[in-house]
Amino acid sequence: MSLALTGAERPIGQRYNDLGQRLAQQLGDLVSALQQRGGVRADIDPILIAKMLFNNFTAMYIMFAK
Domain ranges for the chain: 2-65
Confidence (pLDDT) at 15: 87
Burial of 36 (0-12, 13-18, 19+ CB in 10 A): exposed
Confidence (pLDDT) at 1: 62
Confidence (pLDDT) at 4: 64
d(CA 36, CA 3): 39
d(CA 15, CA 8): 9
Instruction: Provide the residue type at 5 as one letter.
Output: L
In tens, the pLDDT along 11-52 reads: 887 888 898 899 999 999 999 999 999 999 999 999 999 999
Does position 61 have pLDDT exceeding 90, yes or no? no
